A and B are shown apart, each in its own frame.
Chain A
Amino acid sequence: MGSSFTDSPGVAFLGAAAPRHVAAWARAAERAGLGSVWLIEDYFYPGAFALAGAAAAVTERVTVGIGVVNPYTRHPALLAMGLAALRESRGLGVQVTDEGIFEAQRALAREEGVFVEPSSAAALTAVMQLVARKAVDPEQTIVLVLTSSGLKDPGASRAWLPEVPAAGDDFDALLGVLRERYGLELHG
């Protein structure tokens, strides 16, 4: 939840119909380019915290706000608990480039021994971007769903793979090839 909700127009949802429509309305608001979505909490209206969770779950960018919460009828601990849950419930969409995908595919194969197709590597690309933006807490447990095997599209990785060099005529020549072509210093 950013602090930019004053930068662009927003929309507030209230009334008995809000629970049924909140997900669709929040998505539509985001698609329409609005900057914020507000859930109104007042007596005998549907509770804003549950609605905010639903809105956050189906949107990526739009700011979700609660306006307003009555601090006298809601215990401060409950208020903190609700906000903590909302802060963590927002999923993210991360756009990835081919370059970033190759980087991730290479890292998974070379550093972990896991060879997946480019579409699957995109999951790691997304995490790499989030790390670069400092958008992930290092203490978090993160699971990448690697959807399919690299064997489905072996041609794709050829973009970052070298030709196979000749081994050379003797062992010293081989060590030279390994050094020059693969950066391996293996002598003695």
Chain B
Amino acid sequence: MVRLECPRCGALYEDGRLFTGCPRCRAEHVPVNLAVKVDVARLAHLATEGFPATPRGLWRFRALLPVAGERPVTLGEGATPLIHLERVGRRLGLPRLYAKDESQNPTWSYKDRLCAVAVTHAVETGARVVTIASTGNHGASTAAYAARAGLPCVIFTLASVPATMKTLMQAYGAAVVACPTPEARWALMRQGIERLGWYPTGGFQAPPVGSNPYGIEGYKTLACEIAEDLGWRAPDLVVVPSAYSDGLWGIWKGMRELRALGLVADVPRMVAAEPYGPLAAALERALETPAPVRGEGSIAFSIATRYGTWQGLAALRESRGLGVQVTDEGIFEAQRALAREEGVFVEPSSAAALTAVMQLVARKAVDPEQTIVLVLTSSGLKDPGAPRAWLPEVPAAGDDFDALLGVLRERYGLELHG
């Protein structure tokens, strides 16, 4: 029996379909997501060698997941590379800077870890329809895993949905419908869930409480893979682009469980990269729960939210971490550096993780000896229009080779003759 636990008040629940957070805390006007209660004593026998080598990816760690997983709904998610950012790291004076490249997942974002587990849970609990309110990666991933499971998928989006995301969701066969406002989407979605038993992979209430707690357990596998790739050691810092902090919280929960099981000695400090900075503001103002902040548009549309969540703030507090507010200009600089200096092309929201580190370096707030892992959450192909802000027109090559050398010198600063 999988139980859900409130990370704030400790209440335990046996209702498998509590997708709207802790009822008790909500009554106190504090929205808190529930989390799967993991029985550490039952897992105490686990050793690092206990995770099988195959199948590659997320399902190696099924002992830590809240599903039986005998027939997982999978597209080969997980097992993404931990890339040593030597060139950018050298420039920043950080010799142990790494990127966990989550753009190499089946739908090119880390949401696949959440959706693989959530949709497997949906199938195991007899759900017949999957639903989500999304304008982006979460919707695309939900649509793909619903397709994989052979379940219908209803996605509530906004008219402003980016064309690439709309194409992805519909290509996977989801029934995509547009609502005028986020609140309107959540109201309709809630009725599908309450009246017809639709299974949600994401949240649907205001103020936001976070995503499906079973799916969030999938993010724990990020902690496992990062620790394993570092020789079963936690890094000093893990930097995660954050909106409602599902990923940040899931990674933190995973690290804590690995420590409780004795599989790592320490836990990392968690850093949230956020365009509007609700978590940074809440830490600064010593709030118990994040308050909405101002926000006037960001290139990082996947994470641009005025709201933080209680558990996101808790992860920062418990880990002695911090929130870093990032600007569009800083995001472009980081996106460009990752692509040009490391060959890793990610969406602006993902690049925000490096932007946060660049800011911490400028503030002398990181120790150069620390091991730092950036979670690069999604592919640059999701929003290919964004980098056009910093990309030149393609010039003509010129009529002969000497003209070409001139073009390369003038337009690209390349001195290539003899």
**Which positions in A face B, CB cutoff 8 Å?**
105-106, 109-115, 149-152, 154-155, 157-158, 161-162, 164-168, 170-171, 174, 177-178, 181-182, 184, 186-188
Give chain A nearest CB distance to B43 CB in angstroms. 30
Q: What's the least CB distance linking B401 to chain A, in Å?
A: 31
Interface pairs A-B: 10 shortest CB-CB: A110-B173, A113-B148, A167-B177, A113-B144, A182-B175, A151-B381, A113-B147, A171-B191, A109-B171, A154-B167
Find out whether the CB atom of A184 lies under 8 angstroms from the CB atom of B147: no
B156 proximity list for chain A (CB < 8 A): 167
Looking at the complex, which one of B106, B161, B164, B188 makes contact with A114 (CB distance below 8 Å)?
B106
Not counting A110-B173, A165-B177, a sample of 19 additional A-B residue pairs whose C-beta atoms are within 8 angstroms of each other reads: A109-B147, A113-B144, A114-B144, A115-B144, A150-B168, A155-B167, A164-B159, A166-B177, A166-B178, A167-B156, A167-B179, A167-B184, A167-B185, A167-B188, A171-B191, A177-B177, A182-B175, A186-B192, A187-B196
Q: Among A105, A111, A115, which residue has the most Cβ atoms of chain B within 10 A? A: A115
Bound CA span A112–B150, Å: 8
Closest to A167 in B: B177
CA A109 – CA B146 in complex, angstroms? 11
With both chains docked as a complex, state the minimum distance between the C-beta of A150 and any C-beta of chain B, in angstroms: 6
Bound complex: CA A174 to CA B190 (Å): 12
Given A152-B381, A167-B185, also A109-B177 (CB < 8 A): no
Chain B contacts for A113, CB-based, 8 A: 75, 106-107, 143-148, 172
Q: Which residues of A contact B144 (CB under 8 A)?
A: 109, 113-115
What are 28 A-B contacts with C-beta separation under 8 Å?
A109-B147, A109-B172, A113-B75, A113-B145, A113-B172, A114-B75, A115-B144, A115-B168, A150-B168, A154-B168, A155-B167, A157-B170, A161-B170, A164-B157, A165-B177, A166-B179, A167-B156, A167-B184, A167-B188, A168-B177, A174-B192, A177-B177, A178-B175, A184-B175, A186-B154, A186-B192, A187-B196, A188-B196
Q: Within the complex, which residue of A106, A171, A181, A182 is in contact with B188, where a contact is CB–CB below 8 Å? A: A171
Q: Give which listed residue, B106, B145, B178, contacts A165 with CB less than 8 A.
A: B178
Most-contacted residue by chain A among B144, B166, B175 (CB, 10 A): B175
Cβ contacts under 8 Å, B349 to chain A: none
B199 at the interface (CB under 8 A from A): no
Q: Which residues of A contact B143 (CB under 8 A)?
A: 113
Interface contact B170-A162, CB-CB below 8 Å: yes
| Residue in B157, B159, B178, B185 whose Cβ sees the most chain A Cβ within 10 Å | B178
Q: Is B108 an interface residue (CB 8 A)?
A: yes
Q: Is the CB of A151 within 8 A of B154?
A: no
Q: Which residue of A lies closest to B107 (CB)?
A: A115
Contacts of A165 in B (CB 8 A): 177-178
Q: A165 to nearest B CB, angstroms? A: 6
- How far is the CB of A184 from the nearest CB of chain B, in Å? 6
* Chain A residues near B188 (CB-CB < 8 A): 167, 170-171, 174
Given known pairs A171-B188, A178-B175, A184-B175, the reply for A164 and B170 (CB within 8 Å) is yes
B251 is an interface residue with CB less than 8 A from chain A: no
Given the interface pairs A152-B381, A182-B175, the reply to whether A111 lies near B147 with Cβ below 8 Å is: yes
Q: Is A151 a contact of B379 with CB atoms below 8 Å?
A: yes
> In this complex, what residue of A is CB-closest to B143?
A113
Given the known interface contacts A113-B172, A151-B168, the answer about A178 and B178 at a Cβ–Cβ threshold of 8 Å is no
B340-385 residues with Cβ-Cβ distance < 8 A to A are: 379, 381-382
